[in-house]
Amino acid sequence: MKAYVLFPYFYLLIALLFIYDGVIKFQNNEDYYLQIVVAAVAIFMFFFRKKYAKRMQDHHKNKQQ
């Protein structure tokens, strides 16, 4: 299996870790805004990379035909 298919899920893992860290910091009354922003960017990158991987896969299918 190609690595570019699995790579977007790495962003989801990063987002979950930063959301968890942000919640823990929120409960301890610490500054949590950076963790939430990084999690939001990681979620955006997940959808962006997933769409881009599908576009590249379709491009390679059309190129082979």
Cα angle 37-40-43, degrees, rounded to a multiple of 5 = 150
Q: Which long-range contacts (CB under 8 A, 24 or more apart) does 27-36 make?
A: none
Domain total in the chain:
1
pLDDT single digits (tens) 12-61: 999 999 999 999 999 999 999 999 999 999 999 999 988 887 887 788 78
Q: What is the 8-class DSSP label of residue 10?
A: H
* pTM > 0.85: yes or no: no
Q: Could you tell me the residue range of the domain that residue 47 belongs to?
A: 3-64
